[in-house]
Chain A
Amino acid sequence: MTTARGWRKWSIILICLMPTIIGITIVNLIPMGYNFRISFTDTDRGIHNGQYNKSLDQMNTVDDVGLQNYQKLFSQLVSSDALIAFAKLIITLLPFVIAFVVTQRMIRTQLMRPSTWQYWLAAIAAAFVLWFVLNDADGFNLLAQNDFFVVLLRSVLYVIICMPFFLLVGFVLALILNNPLIRFKVVWRTLLIIPWAVPTYITALIWQFFFRDAGTINQIFQSLGLEDPQHPISWYNSPLLAFGAIVIVNVWMSYPFFMTIILTAMQSIPADMYEAAEVDGASWWVRTTQITIPMLRPPVIPAVVLSSISTFQMFNTVYLITSGGPTGGVGKPGATDLVMTYAYKQVFQQQNQVLPGIYGQMGAFATIIFVILLIATLISLRVTNVTKSAYD
């Protein structure tokens, strides 16, 4: 702790933080401001490219269009039908909110954590019933006309589907590696960390080959007799299979991270808890579910939140493997377009040069995505209590 006071203290702070602040300003703040600025204009590519050599003042052929870009983004989302559809969806999600509030109150008022799965099951059933009663499917189809909504929802779905697999594979492998009877642990752990260690652009291209029509996976299936060579399973032409492909590759790339964190956390669980449980007659399954999993909660939840935020923004893997999936046409998102690939394709694809004002629209898109990510990050701060210690 420094004993400097007054201006000496502030001069030290300034010297320490100034390079960082300069860097963040250049790489983060100014682009954010620029994006925000052009989201109110109708900049497009021709004007933009010319500015690589000119100064920023010469944006004279660009007009301010006010909130028009935002309106286009939300087009059809603010009609009365769409608002009704939104309301119906929110009502369908209410059982989960109610279950959450009720279980939190139960957990807080009882000394031992009660089993809460009945409430969640009831919430799922209630939501299911509400879906059909309110005829949500029609509303959903109406909302799905809007590109922005579709891409956003698909990214959320991607995160929701990927996360359980990460946790499952990481947990099972960490459980096995934690077993004192397993030998050659260093070898196993080294080999299992390889997906994390190899740069993603290389492995994404390798997986891209695997999933091709003539690729390794189809060849294995053919040799096992599961399909015939005339009709290979076309992973890239079916929306569902393409989505499955990027889920599989993401699981392959991300499980070592979770495995490492879970293994480290498991090794710090004191052994006498297990011994006490064994004396009380607990079997292996009971020990694992009642001791290991609750004790893993503190480090795993921050990891899940961080990983969700970065999976939501994932670009490299998805773009290199499916480039956004079977496409629906110019300007429409493909079947595996996540948020980032959609933005990238809108801005950098050739055919979009004829669409006027595309940079302005993507500026609006970027601003909205930033707001969403900002809210998610702030929520994650509350959930993980990063500014406090873990045992508070």
Chain B
Amino acid sequence: MTTTPQTASTVSAPSIAAVPAIPRIVTKPATIIQRRRNQRVGLIISYIILVIAVIFAVYPVYFALLVAVRPNGQLLTNNLIEQFLPVTGISLNSFTTMIANTKDHTFLPWLGNSLFVAASTAFASVILCTSAAFALSRIKFTGRNAVLILFLAIQSFPALLALAPITILLTQIGLYKSLVGLILAYSAGSLVFSTWNLKGYFDTIPVEIEEAALIDGCNTLQSFFQVLLPLSLPAVALTAFFGFLAGWGEYVLASAIIPAPTSLQTLPVALHDLSISRSVPWGLFAAGSTMVAIPTMLAFLWMQRNLQSGLTAGGVKG
């Protein structure tokens, strides 16, 4: 008895259209050896790209270092090698001249001014942003969304165009040409981004923790300081860091608010004035720049881990 031939199955693939059909591009290596060779080629290309990128990234800073250690402090050279290697020798002349206080360039007062402004901005920024973010994140009040959007909207007015009014305003208050006025301007400037970031971070901390603390007998203030703040330390550190950066590296506002007396200027304004003065002491400028850049770099690298976790809070979860 002949068997009836099986009819071809009418159900081939699942007919759900949702199965993503990854196109079959036939490049898969057939053997393990081929795959390993492809991987090695990919690795070599990756390393080459990395080296080129690092040279591209680091060379300007390295160049400043080169000029800073040159004995004659010259910027322009005709020798190509000198652009890359310290051929004429390494000397700390520029550094020592820069630090020694002459009447033209008083580096240490500038450094002190910038440090004071930056640290105060960081401190003020932390206080302002944490309290504002706490209110915006933890307390439901009717105007909450409006306040959030208002902050963002007001921040879109560029500070550059507000230079003249801010200066006039500070003059009215009596804070023109004073570091405190600068601190005020910087703190208010870095408010919005930090508050948004901090609020997002607070939102990711479950409210139940604070409610547990409240049940255990804390009042609101204690629950804030002893429960919420320690848990959100990365984001708070990030706020302080951005406040510090705002005070340390900002040029335009500083040049408008404290233009003249050389001893009161902050580092960006002072270095820029140095670079446009009549006979530019490039070696000194490079030495000053290096001394300014290195702490910033170190602070940045130290904050790197916190940067990743603090910035993407509220972004990609999981």
Residue in B57, B135, B188, B191 whose beta carbon sits within 8 Å of that of A194 in the complex: B57
A199-B293 CB under 8 A given contacts A24-B154, A283-B25, A377-B152:
yes
Question: Would you call B185 an interface residue if the criterion is a C-beta within 8 Å of the partner chain's C-beta atoms?
Answer: yes
A285-B308 CB under 8 A given contacts A179-B46, A201-B249, A373-B157:
no
Question: Would you call B110 an interface residue if the criterion is a C-beta within 8 Å of the partner chain's C-beta atoms?
Answer: no
Give A244 to B86 CA distance when docked, in angstroms. 30
Q: Is B58 a contact partner of A191 (Cβ separation < 8 A)?
A: yes
A315-B25 CB under 8 A given contacts A261-B312, A343-B161:
no
Q: Is A191 a contact partner of B307 (Cβ separation < 8 A)?
A: no
Q: Is B297 a contact partner of A198 (Cβ separation < 8 A)?
A: yes
Question: Would you call B134 an interface residue if the criterion is a C-beta within 8 Å of the partner chain's C-beta atoms?
Answer: yes
Q: Is B161 a contact partner of A1 (Cβ separation < 8 A)?
A: no
Residue in A28, A256, A260, A389 whose beta carbon sits within 8 Å of that of B308 in the complex: A260
| CB of B93 to closest CB in A, whole Å | 20
| Contact flags A171-190 to B (C-beta < 8 A → 1, else 0) | 01100100101100000111
Q: Is A13 a contact partner of B317 (Cβ separation < 8 A)?
A: no
Give A207 to B63 CA distance when docked, in angstroms. 10
Give A35 to B165 CA distance when docked, in angstroms. 7
Q: Is A23 a contact partner of B135 (Cβ separation < 8 A)?
A: no
Question: Would you call A26 an interface residue if the criterion is a C-beta within 8 Å of the partner chain's C-beta atoms?
Answer: yes
Q: Is A16 a contact partner of B315 (Cβ separation < 8 A)?
A: no
Q: Is A1 a contact partner of B207 (Cβ separation < 8 A)?
A: yes
Q: Which residues of B contact A265 (CB under 8 A)?
A: 312, 315-316
Within 8 A of B (CB), among A297-350: 298-299, 302, 309, 313, 315-316, 320, 340, 343-344, 347
| Contact flags B282-318 to A (C-beta < 8 A → 1, else 0) | 0001000100110011001100100110011011111
Q: Which residues of B contact A309 (CB under 8 A)?
A: 156
Residue in A16, A32, A286, A376 whose beta carbon sits within 8 Å of that of B22 in the complex: A286
Q: How large is the interface on B (under 10, 10 to 19, 20 to 34, 35 or more residues)?
A: 35 or more
Question: Would you call B49 an interface residue if the criterion is a C-beta within 8 Å of the partner chain's C-beta atoms?
Answer: yes
Q: Is A29 a contact partner of B268 (Cβ separation < 8 A)?
A: no
Question: Would you call B145 an interface residue if the criterion is a C-beta within 8 Å of the partner chain's C-beta atoms?
Answer: yes
| Contact flags A1-34 to B (C-beta < 8 A → 1, else 0) | 1111000011011011101100110111111101
Question: Would you call B85 an interface residue if the criterion is a C-beta within 8 Å of the partner chain's C-beta atoms?
Answer: no
Q: Is A377 a contact partner of B135 (Cβ separation < 8 A)?
A: no
Within 8 A of A (CB), among B106-150: 127-129, 131-132, 134-136, 138-139, 141, 145, 147-149
Q: Is B75 a contact partner of A209 (Cβ separation < 8 A)?
A: yes
Q: Which residues of A contact B192 (CB under 8 A)?
A: 24
| CB of A194 to closest CB in B, whole Å | 6
Residue in B49, B156, B164, B189 whose beta carbon sits within 8 Å of that of A176 in the complex: B49
Residue of A nearest to B149 (CB): A381
Interface of chain A: mostly helix, strand, loop or mixed: helix
| CB of B173 to closest CB in A, whole Å | 8
Q: Is B292 a contact partner of A202 (Cβ separation < 8 A)?
A: yes
A23-B167 CB under 8 A given contacts A2-B220, A203-B61:
no
Q: Which residues of B contact A48 (CB under 8 A)?
A: 164
Q: Is B168 a contact partner of A56 (Cβ separation < 8 A)?
A: yes
Q: Which residues of B contact A200 (CB under 8 A)?
A: 249
A264-B157 CB under 8 A given contacts A35-B162, A176-B50:
no
Question: Would you call A157 an interface residue if the criterion is a C-beta within 8 Å of the partner chain's C-beta atoms?
Answer: no
Question: Would you call B56 an interface residue if the criterion is a C-beta within 8 Å of the partner chain's C-beta atoms?
Answer: yes
Q: Is A32 a contact partner of B162 (Cβ separation < 8 A)?
A: yes
Question: Would you call B95 an interface residue if the criterion is a C-beta within 8 Å of the partner chain's C-beta atoms?
Answer: no
Residue of A nearest to B137 (CB): A1
Q: Which residues of B contact A188 (CB under 8 A)?
A: 50, 54
Question: Would you call B232 an interface residue if the criterion is a C-beta within 8 Å of the partner chain's C-beta atoms?
Answer: no
Give A206 to B83 CA distance when docked, in angstroms. 13
Residue in A20, A191, A203, A283 whose beta carbon sits within 8 Å of that of B28 in the complex: A283
Q: Which residues of A contact B43 (CB under 8 A)?
A: 179, 181-182
A111-B156 CB under 8 A given contacts A198-B296, A202-B289:
no
Question: Would you call A252 an interface residue if the criterion is a C-beta within 8 Å of the partner chain's C-beta atoms?
Answer: yes
Residue of B nearest to A113 (CB): B20
| CB of A103 to closest CB in B, whole Å | 18
Residue of B nearest to A378 (CB): B153
Q: Is B154 a contact partner of A2 (Cβ separation < 8 A)?
A: no
| CB of A372 to closest CB in B, whole Å | 9
Residue in B23, B83, B195, B223 whose beta carbon sits within 8 Å of that of A216 in the complex: B83
Q: Is A26 a contact partner of B296 (Cβ separation < 8 A)?
A: no
Residue in B50, B210, B251 whose beta carbon sits within 8 Å of that of A1 in the complex: B210
Give A20 to B77 CA distance when docked, in angstroms. 51
Question: Would you call B8 an interface residue if the criterion is a C-beta within 8 Å of the partner chain's C-beta atoms?
Answer: no
> What 6 A-B pairs have minimum CB-CB distances, sorted nearest first?
A31-B162, A31-B165, A27-B188, A197-B300, A23-B188, A16-B135
Supply 26 A–B pairs (Cβ within 8 Å), ascending by A.
Answer: A1-B139, A17-B136, A17-B147, A19-B131, A24-B188, A27-B188, A28-B154, A112-B20, A190-B304, A192-B53, A193-B300, A197-B300, A198-B293, A199-B249, A205-B272, A219-B83, A220-B83, A260-B308, A264-B316, A268-B318, A285-B25, A298-B316, A309-B156, A315-B160, A369-B161, A370-B161
